[in-house]
Amino acid sequence: MSGIKTLGQFIIEKQADFSYAKGELSRLLRDIGIAAKIVNREVNKAGLVDILGDAGTVNIQGEGQKKLDVFANTQFIAALTSGGECCIVATEEEDDFVPIDSPVSKNAKYIVCIDPLDGSSNIDVNVAVGTIFSIYRRKSMEGLATLADVLQKGTEQVAAGYVIYGSSTMLVYTTGKGVNGFTLDPSIGEFCLSHPNMKVPKDGSIYSINEGNYVHFPMGVKKYIKYAQVHDEASNRPYTSRYIGSMVADIHRNLIKGGIYIYPTTASSPNGKLRLLYECNPMAFIVEQAGGTASDGFRRILEIEPVELHQRSSIFIGSEKMVKMAEEMMATYAVSDSNTKIA
């Protein structure tokens, strides 16, 4: 074990960073890590057991749920319930928030917003999927926590992270003091520190967007895509297009190599597709902590005031210089876009 630092050891070590923490946040992060290992075990044997395919149910988003979506959702809620540090779970897979009212959760201080299995349409074709989570302290002081405790701006997050179930399984998280990545070592069943102090390159040459929606993109996005495709060696263009269809996988690659991920408004997603509370906010917190940028094309993601549980947002996230360039184009063409909308 020489030289290996497990997630548990790291969390305890960093606990001293929090004057108010008496170990609750550490235990909460541990609980999430345990559930992630259980989900990883099922993701890794999908295809061998009857856990592929559709669950035959539809979530509030109107999306068909995969069996693994439901399994992952159940595992994270169970881990957060038994861990006793969480008082409410807001999850993509439940219509409403899930109050955690168990004997061990009486004094729970934390809210968890989670996408238990992001990119699940990729499961059946063996492409990387992920879990995304966001942690807040409850604002209410007594009684059962309410929706008001959940609807907090991204700037209020105390921690955020994701798990990527890919060629290896990694857990990447921040508590506001940098970003660290842990790779699961199946031989010992532990997440081990493999990517300390992760930083997004300030510039990059990878853009991630579903260009199938091109005709419905705002003009600023269309202009950015064409900018990315111009041959100009001095600015390392044309960029490379990489789009996996799993936000976690696309953003994780861009976090390491540099790049931009954009999910703008489209005809089928006039407010954007990604959910603010459990996709955009946690990924924005992580990327900003790693020195990157995240906005909806105009506003910092973390400053957006949530008004509903499954609120959606556009998202432009990744290397600072690339996001700024895309935002400049969004601002330049915002007028023509609004005229188009009027028309």
| Numbered residues of the known binding site for Mg(2+) | 92, 115, 117-118, 279
Dist CA 109 CA 139 (whole Å): 9
- Residues from 248 through 267 that contact ligand P6P (CB under 6 A): 250
Whether the Cβ atoms of residue 302 and residue 155 lie closer than 8 Å to each other? yes
Find residue 137's DSSP bridge partners.
110
Q: How far is the CB of 275 from ligand P6P (least distance, A)?
A: 8
| Residue 118 or 337 with smaller CB distance to ligand P6P | 118
Binding test (CB under 6 A) with ligand P6P, winner from 31, 118, 149, 320: 118
One-letter amino acid for residue 270 of the chain:
P
| Residue 118 or 327 with smaller CB distance to ligand P6P | 118
Q: By CB under 6 A, tell whether 59 contacts ligand P6P.
A: no
Dist CA 288 CA 301 (whole Å): 10
Q: By CB under 6 A, tell whether 312 contacts ligand P6P.
A: no
Part in contact with ligand P6P (CB under 6 A); list of ranges 81-89, 160-168, 188-196, 242-250:
242-250
Part in contact with ligand P6P (CB under 6 A); list of ranges 99-107, 173-181, 241-249, 331-339:
241-249
Q: How far is the CB of 312 from ligand P6P (least distance, A)?
A: 10
Part in contact with ligand P6P (CB under 6 A); list of ranges 13-21, 154-162, 221-229, 243-251:
243-251
Dist CA 315 CA 304 (whole Å): 12
Dist CA 25 CA 20 (whole Å): 10
Please count the residues of this chain forming the interface with ligand P6P, following the rule CB under 6 A: 10
The CA-atom distances, in angstroms, between 288 and each of 24, 295, 309, 322, 331 are 25, 10, 23, 14, 21
Q: By CB under 6 A, tell whether 314 contacts ligand P6P.
A: no
Taking the mean position of all CA atoms in its chain, how far away is CA 281?
7
Neighbouring C-beta atoms of residue 126, cutoff 10 Å: 11
Q: Which residues contact 305 (CB under 8 A, 6 or more apart)?
A: 153
Q: How far is the CB of 127 from ligand P6P (least distance, A)?
A: 11
Binding test (CB under 6 A) with ligand P6P, winner from 138, 273, 310, 312: 273
Q: By CB under 6 A, tell whether 245 contacts ligand P6P.
A: yes
Concatenated DSSP letters of 60-102: TTSPEEEHHHHHHHHHHHHHHHHHS-EEEEEETTSSS-EE---
Part in contact with ligand P6P (CB under 6 A); list of ranges 40-48, 68-76, 117-125, 153-161:
117-125
Strand duo 260-263 + 206-208: pairing: parallel
Stretch 189-218: interaction string toward ligand P6P, x if CB under 6 A:
---------------------x--------
Q: Residue 113 — φ and ψ, nearest 5°?
A: -105, 130
Q: By CB under 6 A, tell whether 247 contacts ligand P6P.
A: yes
Residue ranges of the binding site:
92, 115, 117-121, 210, 243, 273, 279
Given the rule CB under 6 A, which residues bind ligand P6P? 118-119, 121, 210, 245-247, 250, 273-274
